[in-house]
Chains A and B, each alone.
Chain A
Amino acid sequence: MIRQFGWIDLYYLVAAMRWTLALTAMAFVGGSVIGMIVAVLRVAHFAPLRWLGTLYIQFVQGIPLLAWLFVFYFGLAIVGLPVLPWIAAAAAFSIYGGAFLGEIWRGALQAIPRTQWEAGAALGLGFAEQLRYVIIPQAVRIAVPPTVGFLVQLIKNTSLAAIIGFVELTREGQLTTASTFQPFTVYLTVAGLYFLLCFPLSQWSRSLERKLHVAR
Chain B
Amino acid sequence: MSLVDIADVTKFYGTNKVLDRVSLAVEPGEIIAIIGRSGSGKSTLLRCINGLEPIQGGRIVVDGEVVNDPKTDLRKLRQRVGIVFQSYNLFPHLTVSRNITLAPTVAKGMPEGEAREIARDVLRRVGLEDKLEAYPDQLSGGQQQRVAIARSLAMQPKVMLFDEITSALDPELTGEVLAVLEDMARSGMTMILVTHEMGFARRFGSRVVFMHQGRIWEQGRAAETLGRPQTPELETFLGAVLH
Contact = CB atoms under 8 A, between A and B. Distances in A.
A4 interface: no
B217 interface: no
A123 B85 contact: no
B92 A125 contact: no
B106 A125 contact: yes
A124 interface: yes
Interface stretch (A15-23, A99-107, A113-121, A160-168): A113-121
B137 A216 contact: yes
Interface in B11-48: none
B89 interface: yes
A195 interface: no
B93 A124 contact: no
A126 interface: yes
Nearest to B135: A216
A123 to B, nearest CB: 4
A118 B52 contact: yes
A129 B106 CA distance: 8
Interface residues of A, number: 17
A120 B103 CA distance: 8
B242 to A, nearest CB: 30
Contact of B78 (A116, A121, A134, A216): A121
A133 interface: yes
B85 A119 contact: yes
A192 interface: no
A1 interface: no
Contacts of A116: 89, 91
Interface in A89-147: 115-116, 118-126, 129, 133-134, 137-138
B87 A124 contact: no
Contacts of B90: 119
Contacts of A115: 85, 87, 89
A134 B91 contact: yes
Interface string B67-103: 0000000111111001101010111111000000011
B50 interface: yes
B107 interface: yes
Given A115-B85, A133-B106, A216 B52 contact: no
B118 interface: no
B93 A125 contact: no
Contacts of B82: 122
B151 A137 contact: no
Interface string A201-216: 0000000000000001
Given A122-B50, A124-B155, 19 more contacts: A115-B87, A116-B89, A119-B89, A119-B91, A121-B52, A121-B74, A121-B78, A122-B85, A123-B78, A123-B103, A124-B75, A124-B107, A125-B103, A126-B107, A133-B91, A133-B102, A138-B92, A138-B93, A216-B93
**5 closest residue pairs by CB, A with B:** A123-B103, A119-B89, A124-B79, A124-B107, A124-B78
21 contacts: A115-B89, A116-B91, A119-B89, A119-B90, A120-B91, A121-B78, A122-B50, A123-B78, A123-B79, A123-B107, A123-B155, A124-B75, A124-B77, A124-B108, A125-B103, A134-B102, A138-B91, A138-B92, A216-B92, A216-B135, A216-B137
